[in-house]
Amino acid sequence: MATIKDFINFVKFEHSIFALPFIYAGMLIAMRAENFDFDALKFFLITIAAVSARSTAIAMNRIIDANIDALNLRTADRHIPSGIIKTEEAHSFVIVSGIFFFASAYFLNFLCFILAPIPLLMFIIYTYLKRHTYLSHLFLGLTLGIGVGGGYVAITGNFENFVYPLILCFFVMFWVAGFDIIYAIQDVWFDRMQNLHSIPAKFGINKSLRISLLFHLTGAGILLLFLLIAYPLFSSPVFFCLGIIIIASLLIYEHKICRSDVSEAAIQKAFWTTNGIVGVCFLVFLVLGLYF
């Protein structure tokens, strides 16, 4: 029988760092735009909703992709193909995690509750979409990007001033799509053999890196646009501007790594470490810009 530690590793719990900063960003922007005070209970419920939604989505992805993962040497040791977690146990995990997600959404507000199925449905669509089109990278980014809107609606319960989280949603979309392209380089030959669709499989490694860089530069431009449109919300816009410069530098560094080395170790460094820092930097400098 699988242990709690197995399930934590199953959904890569530590990788919540990619989603939480932007969900919290939506929360903070809503508080600033609507002059709401910090609410510890809502913060707790938002965190539970974010972590349980991500865990549910990752578990569903692992279940759907189990047969493909078993054929890929890089993923054959994942929990379902290797037998660490049985398919029935994974289904049970999805149900329990999903209950936590919908319950937390319900206690946040009614709008969150009725919108709750959307991110899960989008993640299921993504899992199948990558079997049909290389544009799945952008759809994955959009799926994670709507978390900004989720954090915003969790506080406001409406879509007023929704232009602010909407702009950041598109930043997340291009940022995630850019690093997902880099991650997919690891499986370029496997994807071609199995007729799976990714930008590296279709365009090759060098062109894919250029497309990824274009996505990341677009994301940096969207952050500048957000600063201009949301300028009235900022107490110290110079802090957020500094954050944009640091984020852009980190993304360029990520591409510098991959330009000279596309080994699995280099991609892991570029993908996990650099992008984890990007998320944290974004949240830190957003907080500094809004409140200091």
pLDDT in tens, 57-78: 999 999 999 999 999 988 899 9
Q: Which residues contact 191 (CB under 8 A, 6 or more apart)?
A: 184, 197, 198, 200, 201
Check pLDDT > 90 for residue 215.
Answer: yes
> Between 146 and 263, whose confidence is greater?
146
**pLDDT at residue 13 in the model:** 74
For the chain, domain boundaries: 4-291
The torsion defined by the Cα of 61, 68, 129 and 21, in degrees rounded to 10, comes to 40
pLDDT digits (tens, 9 = 90+) for 140-159: 999 999 999 999 999 999 99
Q: What tens digit of pLDDT does each residue of 101-141 get?
A: 999 999 999 999 999 999 999 999 999 998 999 999 999 99
pTM of the model: 0.94
What are the Cα distances from residue 178, in Å, to 2, 22, 101, 160?
A: 34, 17, 28, 30
Residues across the chain: 292
Does 161 have pLDDT greater than 80? Answer: yes
Residues 6+ apart with CB under 8 A from 242: 285
Q: Binning pLDDT at 50, 70 and 90, where does residue 266 land?
A: confident
Q: What is the pLDDT of residue 71?
A: 92
Q: Does CATH place domain 4-291 in 1.10.357.140? A: yes
Q: How confident is the model at residue 260 (pLDDT cuts 50, 70, 90)?
A: confident
Q: How far apart are CA 280 and CA 86, in angstroms?
A: 34
Q: Dihedral of the CA atoms 253, 204, 58, 226 (nearest 10)? A: 50
